[in-house]
Structure 1
Amino acid sequence: MMASTGDALSHEVLHNGSLSPEEQKQFMEALEELEQWKRKTDKADQEKSRLLLEKLDSEETKRKAQKETLDLMELHKKRMEASQQMKKGLEDKILDLEKHNRALEDRLKECEKILENKKAEYASLQKKSKINVDVPEKKVVFTGVEKEESRENCQNTECMFTITQRPSFPLKGGQALITFEEEEVAGKILKQAKCPVKVENKRMDVKPSRVSLEPSVKFEVHLNVSKRKIGFSNAPPVLPEERMRDRLEASFSKPSQGGGEVEEVVYNKDTGTGQIVFLNTGVAENLVLKKKYNVDASREVVISICPYFEYQLKKFQTFCGVSKRTVLLSGIEDVQEEEDQQDLLEIHFQKPSNHGGEVENIKYLSRGRNAEAFFTEDAREPETYSE
């Protein structure tokens, strides 16, 4: 509409000839500029429409983004709540486990204390039953070569020991054991209800009593050590049982390691122990001296070796002894040092005027101490061991 109006106006002006050529030129330039601005206005209107459409699209995108953001925030909130609940549950479990661990630690301490008491009790019992035996020397003379025995008779080494436990007596503080050379002297002392002993111008009444020894035992140990068989341990089942048995047989058959021809293999996979029986004697005796042996399984295994033996206890006897030459003195007060007090008691009971006699041995313990006195078979020379 505007373009057609401008064209009509320009045509009318030019037709009337009211303008000079210069004015006509300016008029035409103005018309051309007007047309340019019209085009720019149309283009601006189009751009405005486009921007309005883009704005509408941006607002829709913004609303969607806001909705997604809100949804994500809600999801994050729910996950945080779930995480807090899980954290609280784990903390409760940790507290329960710590409480359980403390209870187990307390129980472990109690068990360790019980174990220590049992060990002490075991050590005390072992000390009472421990036996030291001196095997007497025996002179031998070579008389000649005997005919070789049959294989059954020469594949084992047999021996027998007689074990006798030494009688003992628990000696407490404030007591003394005194052994006289003569039974008659001990008998005279035992007939007295109390023995007055002078110590630094003071009188101390000592009570004598008979010594009843604790029960002792005597038995024979018959030992049979195999010359062809050894025992082994620490052999874990790194292979199936049958293959493990084969590897043991192959390893113990190697002369380079001190082995020999194997007759039988016994293997317990649960305990990792067993026995090897060799065809000939001598192999087992040499291997036992090594104590360790390498077995080639899926990996190298070092096992422990020990001699294989059987034993029997025979002629087991128990007996209780009473010392006829030893007297127990009780109720002794610590007036002097232990050694001085012991010398004083020995001098007192050596005097015939005090119904005493020659003293063979004496042992006195001051109060607060304990010891175990051991007697020989004829009740001579008791030995004391302080705990």
Structure 2
Amino acid sequence: MSSDEDFSLVMEQAPPPSKDSLEEIQALIANYKKICSQLSVDQTELASVTKDNQEMTQKCRQRSVKLAQSLDEEQRSNKERIENEKATVSSLSLEEIQLMEEIQKVEVALKQEEGENEQLRQEADVFTTVPEKKVVFTGETGNAGDARKFEMNSRVVYPMEGGTALITFEDEAAANRILTMKTHQVALEGDCHITVEARPVRLMLPSLVEIASEVCPQRMLISDLPEMDTETLLNKLDIHFHRRINGGGEVEGCEFLPDSGTVVLTFVDDNIAQGLTETEFHEVQLKNKKHTVRVTPFLNGKITNLKTKWSACPRTLLLAGIPEVMEQETLQDLLEIHFQKNSNGGGEIEAVLYNPPGRRASALFEERRPPAGKGAVSRRFTGFSR
């Protein structure tokens, strides 16, 4: 068949519908139209609802995002707040520890202060109850700036080797001349002589002494005592303060101090002395009658700081290299005669001590203080022991 050929579709025609069928179709069409119209309405409503739901969903998403952001921010804020609170708590804990340490330090310092105050109170009580010392004004005056607030006299034990002698001159210049000449020939009996060497004497003396004092719980000082036999006085005091009825107790020792005329009484037990010193005045049977004595605390001293320095004796020197050629006293007299002569560089001698070879001895040096404003402190040996 060619393309130019016409063709036709022959359809078989249906028989015309009947009247009843047409009405049914029309009714069916009307029904479908109604359904279609309802579907259109439903579709429109569904589209509107879908749109609303989409908008609601979008809003919910946006709100969810905002809530998530807000939650994150709140979590971060809470975390920062918690960290800050932790830091604050840690700082407060550290501050509390520091405050507790400060409180402990203050409590320790307070206890020390209370102890020092109590010690000062006791010392003040002691100083106000020290034994009275009678003084007499002789009419002599001096510069107030020269007055010594505290006076300490040193007593130094100086070891002497054998074959040496100590000489103290009255004049410091004589001692300096002898030291400058150094070696000396001392004439003996006949044509004999000995050669000695002059050396300076250096003593180790205290330059600073700090003493802490405290009230002794076992001792007390008894003053205002009458003049009587020392042994009898000590026995009377021992018997009186040994009795419990007098507030005393077992006595360990009783010592008389001749320089002050007082007695130091020592008890075996502590705090008995404290009870007796609180009364201060006691009546004791002495010399066949009642005598009022004064009882005061006894101070114990302890050196807390000591500094020393080497000091040369300005008027005392040492002679070394002395052989044992004659009796000790004879040779000592010859040494004194030799160094007294001005022609030998010497001068007036205040004291001389000779220790023969092979022996060991000790010389005791004590300070001699002149009146205020009348010369310097000097030291000379006052004792000699072997």
Output the TM-score relative to the length of structure 2.
0.39
- Flag the structure with larger Rg: 2
